[in-house]
Structure 1
Amino acid sequence: MVRLIRKRWRTRIAVRGAATVLAVSLGVFLASVYGLEFFRFSASSVVSFRVILWVVAVGLTACFFVWPLTRKVSDEQAALYLEENEPSLEAAVLAAIETREVGSITSVALEEKLVENALRRSRDVAYGRKIEQKGLYRASGALASVVFATCILFFLAPPQLKHGASALLFPTRDALAVNPYSLLVTPGDVTIARGFDLIVTAQLRGFENEDVQIFFKSESSGTFDRLSMLPDGMDGFELLMLSVDENTEYFIESAGIRSETYQIEVADLPYVDRLELEYHFPSYTGLPPRTVEAGGDIAALRGTTVRLRVFPTMLTPGGRLLVDSQPVELVAGADGTWTGSLTVRTESYYQ
């Protein structure tokens, strides 16, 4: 009977402890998810809330579950627990246990009489099976409610909760990799020719915002300057940086989400200063050749041969013309220019 009482006591401790641990841990988890959203899943916030959640969960488990269940409960303590909840026993069980432990000091007849009395009284209270029955039902109901609420939250969770669970419940994952919000920046780190114009684009991943800003700092500047980027018409944003002639750092920020800091390295590289186009139309048109000194896009009849003359910003050992990604040979001139030709057949592009 004492073993039965001890088992019931441990069951009560286990159910109540599990309900407490799960309920408080769930509350801390939801608060941590809110905190991650507030701090936009920054690496430091992910690490901090992971530590808070797991320390609380482990501490609660140790205090309300592991330690109470591993604590040794003597027969006297089990008897006291029974008689506190069943006053009608009138200390009969406790007296029988104490008499048994005293042993030879008392008579065998007295010991048997006390044990018989304890068993009879225990039989009247169903051997303690109804001890704290209502309390056990309440604890079981609370545990079931918390488990049910947890299942509902995870099965019908909004994306924010799923993102938070992914970040918090898997502490070995990299804190940067779990961030669902990011900025995709191009070109990122890049080397360009001195004085070149550079287009920087940004795409928002996982969130929407109309205010996207770029921060940049050149070598001669001690602080970051800030400019607003413009929509590019394709769910992204862009900014044209004109005549970049110094090494420059830049990053992009929107709604508290910040990209990495990228480097623009400026080098004395050759690039096309001017492009001269000479059109030779098909013979059936009777048109004379035409030269466009500031060339760019080509618009001509099918069969027209266009001779290109490239004027680089500085002497260069080589160059390449691509027509629909196919290379066309360029010939070096004595004056440092490069020439090549192409024939217009279909709509295409060159560079």
Structure 2
Amino acid sequence: MKLVVARGVAVLALAALLLTLAAVYLGIRQAFASELVIGARIILVLVLGLVASVSLIYPLRVLRRTQGVRDIEKRAPGFDGRIETYQGLTRTGSNSPFLGLLAEDTLRLARALPISLRVPKWEISIPTALAAVAVMILVGLAAFGPGNWRYGVRHLWAGWALTDTLPPQRIVVAPGDKAVRRGGDLAISAVAEGFDPVAADVFAFFDGSDAWESAPMERLDGEEFDFVFFGIRQPLRYYVVAAGVRSAEYAVNVVDLPLVRNIKLTYHYPNWTQLEQEVEDPGSDIRAMEGTDVLLDITTDQSLGEAELIVNGQALTMSIDGNVSSATLQVSQDGEYFVSTFFDGDPVRLTDDYLITLIPDNKPVVSLVKPARDWRASSIEEVTVRVEARDDFGLDSLKLHYSVNGGELQERLFDVDGSYMLAEEILYLEEIGTLVPPGPVINVGRGFSFSGPTIDFLQGNNTDEADDSLEAVAENQETSGLQAGDLISYYVEAKDRDQSVRTDLFFVEVQPFDRSFSQSMQGGGGGGSDGQRQDEISQRQKEILVATWNLIREQAEDSTFLDDQQLRDNAAMLSGLQRTLAEQAQTLASRTRARQLTRVDNQIQIFVQNLERAAEAMIPAADRLADLQLEEAVPSEQSALQHLLRAEAVFTDIQVAFNQGGGGRGGFAGRDLSELFE
């Protein structure tokens, strides 16, 4: 019996909830029309009565009549029909001698298998919980539900006995009573309060007509309905109807006002645009950049007593000079404007809406026309850098930034005038200096020299002294000319008033003056593949440097291409690549020392020391990349690249000597060094 009651109550509660939701939804759309509410109440009573009869009353009657015998037999098959047989015999009044034995046997089975164990608790608890949840939702909607739903549930269930169960229902219409110029347009809007209609209609009665006219209104996003009366020529009255609810009636008066003959626009651009004053006559819509002052001169067929310029809802008083009314607005955002005057103290439009469009200040565009790629040159050549830059309004500055061997950035300023520039700057490599220690210059091979103290690298016991030879580079430095293996990195930056753009990072690699590697190609075979292997480390370092530079550019230009997590991931990846490359450079240097090649040839000593210095510079670069200190990582990356290029320049000279038939210990050392790149 508990199971039957629980199931019946659950079905009844769910049915009441669903019927209530459907009825209130329709009621909100139809403004709770009395016919709809009465019909919903009748349907609710009939359906709930039917549900109660089918799911509760009828099952209870069957249970009382049959005493639940069939259910008991179904849940406890062990009775094997004994209860049903006993019930049949007792109903027929049989005096069978087996009736007592059957009853005794059935009772014995019942004691061993209680019926309560065959009705799981969840079969009763789940329907009970569903019924409780449905009732709680229904009560919650009536007590705390949103606006119209709260009133709707109350009205459906208790409106027949209580008053004021519905919210105030009305239609708010704007602008209400209004005066418009003859031939002008009037836009009206309507919002329903206390209900949510699907559609709304506007009714209008024009002077001289004999009937009301209606038209559907357009529903915008949300709860607002809109309609526009175009070209009004005579007075009219209007009201709005939605779901049987009618708004108040409003009047529209038509007045004859001065006609606008012309609109003249005078643009006064900000100084940073470098643009002259511009006049648009006749004018209409305004298109200008932020900060532009626009003088509007409105010419009418007769003088206006008072006039206002309405800009994005804000009124600006216009000065009157005969038939010309003037005002100045400043462009700060997209919007619209119109001109109005006054009639009986009420504002009346003289013009339609005109658009105000804000022209964005785009970033400058800059590119390197020449050489437009990485370049190789000797230390006495001239490198021409040709730059093209443009801006939509005007360039503020154009600079060439360059750095020698990862040192301090230097700049050269182009003379800019206007919004377009095509300029050149010549880098005289012979005049560009680099920092080296003082001392005599030792020629260590064609196209490469080393400035420093003289050391006898050929003595086998002078390894420590040789290791100290380049450690003095950081002390007592002075400026000297470029030499093979030096590196110049450069880029161009263009700025307008508040934005800047940089080009990619390019490189000028200083090559041996006598093109010793090219000569080696004529002296013997085997140089091509070695050249590809020796360039691999410096090429990978250059890729890391360029990738770091691109991340810096995206940060500086507020690029939306990368979010913070992507930026961290890319920087972490570059940091890992930089550490790997440092390990490879150090491994190559260690293997060279392990074969004791540094004792054989002073060129190999210089080669190894440059590899080690490159590896040393890569470690702080990797650390700064991991910490997202991208700008700080660039000098170390450039220094590492410069040392790698110097090492490759030395290796080139070693290869030249080897390919030209250099014998002895130096020739074997050159061959061993080549094998290390494999």
**Under a length normalisation based on structure 1, what TM-score does the superposition of the two structures give?**
0.49
Which structure has the bigger radius of gyration? Answer: 2
**Under a length normalisation based on structure 2, what TM-score does the superposition of the two structures give?**
0.27
Considering Cα pairs closer than 8 Å and 6+ residues apart, tell me whether 1 or 2 has the greater RCO: 1
